[in-house]
Amino acid sequence: MGTEKKAFLPLLIDTAKAHRKYCMSRFSKLGLTTGQPKVLTVLSAKEGYLQKELAARCAVEPATMTSLLNNMERKDLIRRETVYVSGGKRAFAIYLTEHGKEVAAEVAAIAKEAEEKSFEGAEDKKEEFLSVMSKIIKNLSLILLVAIASVSLAACSGSDKTGTQQTAPETTNQKEDTMTTDTANTEATQPAAETPAPTEVPATPTPTPEPTPEPVKLVPDQAPVADPADKIPDEYLVYDLEGKKGTVEKFTYTTKDYAGDGSDLEKEAFIYLPVDYDSSKKYNVLFLLHGIGGSIHEWSLNAAESSKVCTMMDNLTNSGEIEPFIIVTPNGRSGKDYKNTSFDVMALFYEFGKELRNDLIPYIDANYSTYGTKADGSAEDPEEARKHRACAGLSMGGMQTINIGMCECMDLFGYFGTYSAAPTSYEGPKIVEILDKDFPEEQIYFSYNICGTDDTTALASATAAVKGLDARTDRLEDHVNYLWQERPGGHGWDIWYLGFYNSARIFFGNAYR
């Protein structure tokens, strides 16, 4: 049976797809994901690129490069060194680790194998094929440059206000001669038999120098907040029989056994949809995390009239004090034993970042009306989305807010609330070190933190983690985007409900600032 001949473009696309599929099937066995082989290849040729330079070299968005490098650093493929660029601004140069160099060599071997496989049975045509491909790239690139130059000349002509007559465009033959000239011979000068008088050409305008970029301002330009409440007003804790109510749903989503073999898991979570929830509008989202012995039930979203969180939300929304927002209360253990609430499975808490990033947040954005998706259903710009997404939690959930929400997923969240952050929370210096390395330009829109002065479980750990954090970094300023609050109380709900109440008003309040 004869093979149907394909047109140039479909054949080119199919060739690229086949090559990519062949290579990725082998790259995946090295533990690499999309984008990482290219980063390794670029760095194996030249190390020390700044992160933005590397993003440009690999033709990816800077935010995507941040995520790629974070994952590659966890795999010990790359390392970052602090350097200082113009204006004394701190940046990070990227280098391969020894392990990264070994994997890069394997990537190169796979690429060579793919090349050999591609020309199997046609080895004598390889040089000719590569020459033709190079010519195609050169021709198309040159056409693009000519088009850009034409647009630039037209712009100059349109802006000429001297009344000088403009030069006629080159003839077709002149253009063809220029486009077919080999670049290796462009320096040769051809003698002219008879040179006509030159036509006056408008002088090339002096390019406007690029403005010096302003340093990234890490503290958001927002008004200071008032002191947080020391007590929840009684009227916000009263279930209003006549007032409008939000609704609570239980949903199921697919995730993985991130602490184990990576197999699929089905997990449940609760979601609070605010008063007058309307799928045609966009809503902020708070991911509210439980403590070490808790589960999806700990914040009691499903407790109807006795749910203090729902009662506070309904009253705050109906009074106009806050913008309506969505609350999600998941199980913060990422593993097949996630239903086990004992101390035996503590390790599962530390894997939750993968579930948040890969499964839970995408599910919420796909199924509810959030700022994570645009009107057409496509993904919103990550920086825009994180302006409307918060992470907060009590005790072990406070630890997760620090270690995972802030230090692992800063590109996903802009607001952070810790209520009695548990032991194993990163300490202040380490938090700053991680943020400066992994998220050098992300702003923190607010970090609110509270702990009881009589809390023998968490006062020491919370203090070491977030008390005075604003003095350790230039991305936090007291009362502008940072608060530390201490109140009489232990490791209990009087502190945690007050923390939630203040977070709701600070993060998404209408009249709090």
List Cα–Cα distances, 74 to 40, 79, 100, 392, 408, in angstroms: 14, 10, 11, 24, 11
List, for residues 23-74, the tens digit of each pLDDT value. 877 887 888 877 889 999 999 988 888 887 888 888 876 656 776 787 788 7
pLDDT tens-place string over residues 95-120: 999 999 999 999 999 998 988 888 88
Q: Taking the domain 234-508, which CATH number applies?
A: 3.40.50.1820
Q: Does the pLDDT value for residue 89 go beyond 80?
A: no
In degrees and rounded to multiples of 5, residue 120 shows phi and psi of: -60, 125
Report the alpha-carbon distance of residue 483 to residue 477 in Å, rounded: 9
Contacts 24+ apart (CB under 8 A), 205-212: 205/156, 212/87
Distance CA 410, CA 353 (A): 11
Query: Which pLDDT score, from 0 to 100, does residue 204 have?
Result: 53
**Could you tell me whether strands 49-50 and 325-329 are parallel, antiparallel, or unpaired per DSSP bridges?**
unpaired
Q: How do the domains of the chain map onto residue ranges?
A: 8-125, 234-508
Angle formed at CA 83 by CA 79 and CA 85, multiple of 5 degrees: 140
4 vs 429, which has greater pLDDT? 429
Residue partners of 443: CB distance under 8 A and separation at least 6: 217, 218, 219, 220, 414, 475, 481
* Cβ atoms 506, 483 nearer than 8 A: yes
Q: Range with the lowest mean pLDDT among 72-81, 106-115, 398-407?
A: 72-81
Coil, strand, or helix at residue 172? helix
* Separation of alpha carbons 404 and 412, rounded Å: 11
Write the pLDDT tens digit of every residue in 324-343. Answer: 999 999 999 999 999 999 98
Does the pLDDT at position 412 exceed 90? yes
Please report, as a single letter, which amino acid is at residue 192.
Answer: A
Angle formed at CA 140 by CA 138 and CA 142, multiple of 5 degrees: 65
Percentage of the residues of the chain whose pLDDT score is greater than 70: 81
Whole-structure pTM value:
0.61
CA-wise closest residue to 413 among 383, 436, 437: 383
The reported pLDDT for the residue numbered 173 is 42
**Looking at the predicted structure, is the pLDDT value of residue 309 above 80?**
yes
Cβ atoms of 145 and 181 closer than 8 Å: no
pLDDT band at 203 (very low <50, low <70, confident <90, very high): low
pLDDT at 189 over 50: no
Which of 40-44, 75-79, 89-93, 353-357 ranks highest by mean pLDDT? Answer: 353-357
With 60 as the cut, is the pLDDT of residue 368 above it? yes
Q: How many helices (H) and strands (E) does the chain have?
A: 15, 11
CATH class as words, domain 8-125: mainly alpha
Whether the per-residue pLDDT at 177 is higher than 60: the answer is no
At residue 305, the pLDDT reads 86
154: pLDDT strictly greater than 60: no
Beta strands in 400-506 (DSSP E): 415-419, 446-452, 482-487
Tell me the average pLDDT across 409-417.
Answer: 97
- On the question of pLDDT at 239 being above 70, the answer is yes
Is the Cβ–Cβ distance between 316 and 276 less than 8 Å? Answer: no
| pLDDT, tens digit (0-9, with 9 covering 90-100), for 451-498 | 999 999 999 999 999 999 999 999 999 999 999 999 999 999 999 999
Q: pLDDT tens, 114-148?
A: 888 888 888 888 888 888 887 787 677 556 445 54
**Whole-number Å distance between alpha carbons of 294 and 161:** 74
